[in-house]
Amino acid sequence: MERKSFTILVTSNRRGRTRALTVSAAWLKAIVFLGGVLLVTLGAATVDYVGLLLEVGENKILKAENAQLKRQFQVVESKLQSLENSLERVKSYSTKLRLITNIDDEDRAVKLAVGTDPKPGQAMNDYNQDVSERGPASEFLVKDSMFMDKPPLDEMRGELTVISQRDYSSLSIRIDRAVKETQLRELGVLQLWDSLSERQSLLNATPNIKPAGGWFTSRFGYRVDPFTGRPEMHAGLDIAGPPGTAVMAPADGVISFAGYESGYGKLVSIDHGYGVVTRFAHNSQIFVETGQKVKRRDVISAIGNTGRSSGPHLHYEVRVHGVPVDPINYILNE
């Protein structure tokens, strides 16, 4: 049986030989089949390559968007940190105001002397009431769940002990806490302002500024005495500065003492009324006299090194009903 074949003639319009190519039907079918397979393979590869190009483009866009979101997250986090710091300053400022103006306190002298430690039997969380009053995290889970892989832990149930990751859920909790703190602080400051408005005379007579320029060298409390080397109670606040630096009255009052006292050197004492007395020791010069009335920021003396002193500085004391208290509580601009 003769096999079917195909002859392909290849000729030219120019003079030359005519070429003949004879291919059997089976080979021709095989060639056509292989050609079809090759075309399909090339088509699939082309489609896949185009898809990869598109995916690479999308990945680049997603990476750019992700980088932008990270930058925005960092900006939001920095603003939140600034808000938290501002709230902490407001909290410290309002606490000092309440301490020095005797608001909601029956025994100011005792409280100022012992600081803000809890009283015997008082729970530590009494001091954190403004934070614990915030609602549970479940209140905002419904709105925020679409953005979170896992729901945030509920602080009220003690689930959140340490925030170790910088993610959306932890940022949401911090923002929620800061907003709640802001509302409570605003209310507290408004109430404080109303109370202070009724106590103008008390405010004028209450020390609230740093009495001299310089830097703190020794705080209120127990310290090693520079002369004896033994622990002793330091009843004031030392502010070092160049000799001759002006010392100002921290509030209105009357000069109750202006002269030399053993250990204190040249000493000025101001009676501000309401049981509050301030003392300024180791001065080089005294510019006031006993019985003289002074106003806040009046210059009363100059920093020196008189008396029992190891260098030029001002020893600043605040006494409430005769009890030495920490003067830092009476410096609102620090």
Determine the 3-state secondary structure of 316 from DSSP: strand
Q: Which two tokens stand for residue 270?
A: 């101001």
pTM here is 0.46
Determine the 3-state secondary structure of 48 from DSSP: helix
* 82 and 64 assigned to the same domain: no
Name the amino acid, one letter, at 172: S
Cα–Cα distance, 85 to 242 (Å, whole number): 33
DSSP string, 208-266: -S-SBSSEEEE-SEEEE-TTT-SEEEE-SEEEE--TT-EEE-SSSEEEEEEEEETTTEE
Domain boundary among 174, 204, 234: 204
Q: Work out the number of other CB atoms within 10 angstroms of the CB of residue 58.
A: 10
Q: Containing domain of residue 182, as a range? A: 77-204
Cα–Cα distance, 10 to 176 (Å, whole number): 85
* 242 and 312 assigned to the same domain: yes
Q: Which ranges constitute the DSSP H helices of the chain?
A: 25-101, 108-114, 129-132, 138-144, 168-197, 200-204
Cα–Cα distance, 283 to 247 (Å, whole number): 9
* 263 and 157 assigned to the same domain: no
* 83 and 199 assigned to the same domain: yes
Nearby residues of 269 by Cβ (< 8 Å), 6 or more positions away: 255, 256, 257, 258, 277, 278, 279, 280
* 137 and 238 assigned to the same domain: no
Cα–Cα distance, 117 to 104 (Å, whole number): 16
Closest CA to 283 of 249, 257, 245, 255: 245
In a domain, 99, yes or no: yes
What is the per-residue pLDDT for 150? 52
What is the per-residue pLDDT for 315? 94
Closest CA to 251 of 270, 268, 275: 270
What is the per-residue pLDDT for 94? 73
Cα–Cα distance, 216 to 241 (Å, whole number): 9
Q: Which two tokens stand for residue 230?
A: 């033994």
In a domain, 209, yes or no: no
* 94 and 29 assigned to the same domain: no
Please check whether residue 303 is in contact with residue 244, taking contact to mean a CB–CB distance below 8 angstroms: yes
Name the amino acid, one letter, at 246: A
Nearby residues of 28 by Cβ (< 8 Å), 6 or more positions away: 6
CATH number at residue 275: 2.70.70.10
* 248 and 150 assigned to the same domain: no
In a domain, 318, yes or no: yes
* 40 and 127 assigned to the same domain: no
Nearby residues of 189 by Cβ (< 8 Å), 6 or more positions away: 90, 94
* 252 and 153 assigned to the same domain: no
In a domain, 27, yes or no: yes
Where b means 16+ CB within 10 Å and e means fewer, 200-234 reads eebbebbbbbbbbebebebebeeeeeeeeeeeeeb
Tens of pLDDT along the chain (334 residues) come to 566 777 777 777 766 677 777 777 777 778 888 888 888 888 888 888 888 888 888 888 888 888 888 887 787 777 777 777 777 777 777 777 666 666 554 344 334 433 444 444 444 344 344 444 545 545 544 444 444 445 555 544 544 444 445 566 677 777 777 777 777 776 777 677 666 666 777 778 889 999 999 999 888 988 877 777 788 888 899 999 999 999 999 999 999 999 999 889 999 999 998 899 999 999 999 999 999 999 999 999 999 999 888 889 999 999 999 999 999 989 986 6
Number of compact structural domains in the chain: 3
**Angle value at C-alpha 203, between 202 and 205, nearest 5 degrees:** 65
Domain boundary among 182, 204, 226: 204
What is the per-residue pLDDT for 169? 67
Domain boundary among 68, 85, 117: 68
Cα–Cα distance, 228 to 212 (Å, whole number): 27
What is the per-residue pLDDT for 100? 62
* 221 and 189 assigned to the same domain: no
In a domain, 210, yes or no: no
* 84 and 197 assigned to the same domain: yes
In a domain, 251, yes or no: yes
* DSSP-assigned letter for residue 160: -
What is the per-residue pLDDT for 104? 53
